[in-house]
Amino acid sequence: MSSDSKDYPPGYLNEYCGGELIATAVVFMVLEIAFATIRWYAKRRQDVPIGLDDWFIWPALAVNIILCIEGLILIPLAGVGQHLIAVEARSPEKLIAWSKGVYACVWIWALAVALPKMAIMGFYLRFFKSTYERAITYTLMAITVATFLAIGLTATFSCTPVSYQWEQSIPGAKGKCIDVTVFYDWMSFPNIVTDAIMLVLPLPMIFRLHLSQRQKIGLACIFATGGAGIITSCLRFANFYNRNAFEDNTWTSVQLLKWTDIEPGIYFLAACMPSFGPLFQRAWNKFIAPYVSSLRRSTKGTNGSHSDNGPLALHTIGGGRRDHRSGKYSDARAGGFSRLSEDADETRTSHIQVTSTFTVDHV
C-alpha cells in the first residue's frame, strides 16, 4: 500500500469532503422538522379531520431524520469523505462498516421516499370524488408500496450468501453478487415514472371546476407540489448513473449520500406544503392586503380619481371572509381544504371546502 501511495499527488491521502454531507443532512433535518411543525400548527388551526395523509406524514418525518443521521454516522464509522486508499491503509475495518451501512441505507431510503409519497396521495384522496381518479390514486399507492418492497428485497438478496455484501473486502471470502452498480443506477427510475403520473393526475379535475383561470392556476400550483420530487429523482438518477458507487467508494459516497438525503427530503417538504395555504391566507389578510389597498388608494388619490366603490378582489382557495360592519376578516374553519365541487364555485361537503372570494373595499 505504501508503494501505491506514491502514485497519488501530495495531500491526496489527507483529502476530505465529508463536510458537504454534514451540511446537507443538518439543513434537511432542520427543514423537515420545521415544515412538519408548521403543518401540524396549520392543521390544528383549521380543525381538519385526520386523513390518510396524516397517518403517513409523521412516520415519514422519523424515517427521513434517521436517514440523515445514518449518513452522519457513516463519516466517522465507515470513512465516508476520505479516499478509499486512505481508508484501506489506515482503517481497513471501516470498509466492512461501509458495506453494512449501504446495506441498511437502501431500505431506509426506499421507505423515506415511499412514506411522503403516500402522504401526498392521501392528500389527493381528500379532493378526488371521481371513482376513476380515486382508483388511479390507490393504484399508484400500491405501486409505491411494491416499489419499496422490490428495492429493499433486491438489495437484501443481491449477494449469495447475504453476508458476502460486507465480507467482500475480507481475503478468502466466497460468494457472488448481481451487478449492484446497475441496480443502484436504476432503482430511482420507478419513482420518476410515478412522480410524472402524480403530477398530471389532478389536472383533469381542476379543468372541470367552475373556477376563474386565476383560481385554477393557484389550485394547480398546490397540487404541483405533489410532483416536486420528480426533479430531485431525476437529479439523483443522473448522479448515480454518472458515478460508480463502488469506485473509490468512501469518497464517492458523499455525493451519493447527499442526494439520498435530498430526494426523500424534497418529497417530505412537498407533502407538508399544501397545508400551509390557510396560514399564507391569514398572513395576506393581516399584512399584505391592507398595504395593497392603502397603496391603491394613495395612487388613486394622487391621480385625482379616488373612488369609494372600487374594490380590490383577491381570490383564494379556502380563504376567509370580511365582515363589512366590523372590517375584520374571519377564516372559514370547516376543513381548510375540502372536496372540490364540479357543479358550483363555492360549496362544502363533509371533507373539503372549496373556494371563497373576499373583497378588500376601499375606505
The series of mean pLDDT values per 10 residues for the chain, 363 residues long, is 60 90 97 94 81 93 97 95 92 91 93 95 88 93 95 91 83 83 83 88 82 77 74 83 80 91 93 79 68 71 49 38 42 41 41 43 39
Instruction: Identify whether the C-beta of residue 259 lies closer than 8 Å to the C-beta of residue 25.
Output: no
| Residue 179 in grid coordinates | 451487478
**CB contact at 8 A, 289 and 360:** yes
Q: What is the pTM of this model?
A: 0.75
pLDDT computed for residue 337 by the predictor = 45
User: What does the alpha-carbon distance between residue 284 and residue 88 come to, in Å, rounded to a whole number?
Assistant: 58
* Cα separation, 230 vs 218, whole angstroms: 20
CB 300: neighbour CB atoms within 10 A?
14
Instruction: Note the pLDDT of residue 342.
Output: 45
pLDDT of residue 302: 57
Mapped onto helix, strand or coil, the DSSP state of residue 76 is: helix
Query: Which H or E run contains 40?
Result: helix 18-46
Predicted confidence at residue 301, as pLDDT, reads 60
Give pLDDT, residue 6.
57
Q: Where are the beta strands (DSSP E) in the chain?
A: 159-160, 176-177, 312-317, 320-323, 328-331, 355-360
The H or E element containing residue 113 is helix 94-127
Q: Do residues 96 and 169 lie in contact, with contact meaning Cβ atoms separated by under 8 Å? A: yes
Helix (H, G, I), strand (E, B) or coil at 351: coil
Distance in Å from the first CA to the final CA of the chain: 82
